[in-house]
Amino acid sequence: MYRKLTIALLMLFSIGARAQKVIPLYSGAAPGSEKWTYSEKSIKTQGVDIVYNVSHPTLTVYKPDPNLSTGTAMVVCPGGGFYILVTGSEGQDVVDYLTKKGITVFLLKYRLGESFTANPAQELTESLKKGNFAEKIAPLIPLAVADGREAIKYVRGHAADYGVSPSRIGIMGFSAGGHSCRFRSL
């Protein structure tokens, strides 16, 4: 009986240790998308974890084992054509790799265009084929850049809270997420 209780408690603590903090990037509506009303959703399609319909950007904090912590932080911005975020291979896999290296990771969910179907990846593929995709995403790019800038501003401002040096903060992005890393004027 005690052995089962001990095992159950250990499992509970290990789940709690993995649970991370989600931080809204803006208090209230994000500037430039105040009238967006769609709700964030996530699915797994063809083995790929996807988040879509992000209208309220967030950072999810993943801390490394305290014994491994280097005082370094990285903001990670998954890609997905400004309509989805590939949160498995370009999100959680990167988080796992970096935290094992002692890096505190802030996974950014930046604002995305609205998907109108239950299959946003297919919707994105069809949209790419139509030929006007660059025009369609043009208004989204400055919002993604603003979200990246706001993410860095948050991490720098709260570096001490996470045991991170303000001079050891980086940002990386995959494909469309790379635009969130731009810091010069558009």
Look at residue 124 and tell me whether its pLDDT is greater than 70. Answer: yes
Other CB atoms within a 10 A radius of the CB of residue 138 amount to 11
At 132-164, the pLDDT tens digits run 888 889 999 999 999 999 999 999 999 999 999
Confidence of residue 13 (pLDDT cuts 50, 70, 90): very low
**What is the torsion angle, in degrees rounded to the nearest 10, for the CA atoms of residue 59, residue 180, residue 112 and residue 140?**
150
Q: How far apart are CA 90 and CA 78, in angstroms?
A: 5
Q: 5 pLDDT exceeds 60?
A: no
- Supply the pTM of this predicted model: 0.87
- Which residues, other chains included, contact 26 with Cβ-Cβ below 8 Å and sequence gap of 6+? 56, 57, 150
Cβ contacts of 123 within 8 Å, gap of 6 or more: 83, 115, 116, 117
- How is the chain split into domains, by residue range? 21-181
Given a cut of 70, whether residue 64 has pLDDT beyond it is yes
Assign 19 a pLDDT band (cuts: 50, 70, 90): low
Cα–Cα distance list, 13 to 10, 16, 60, 104 (Å): 5, 5, 19, 20
**Once rounded to an integer, what is the mean pLDDT over residues 174-186?**
78
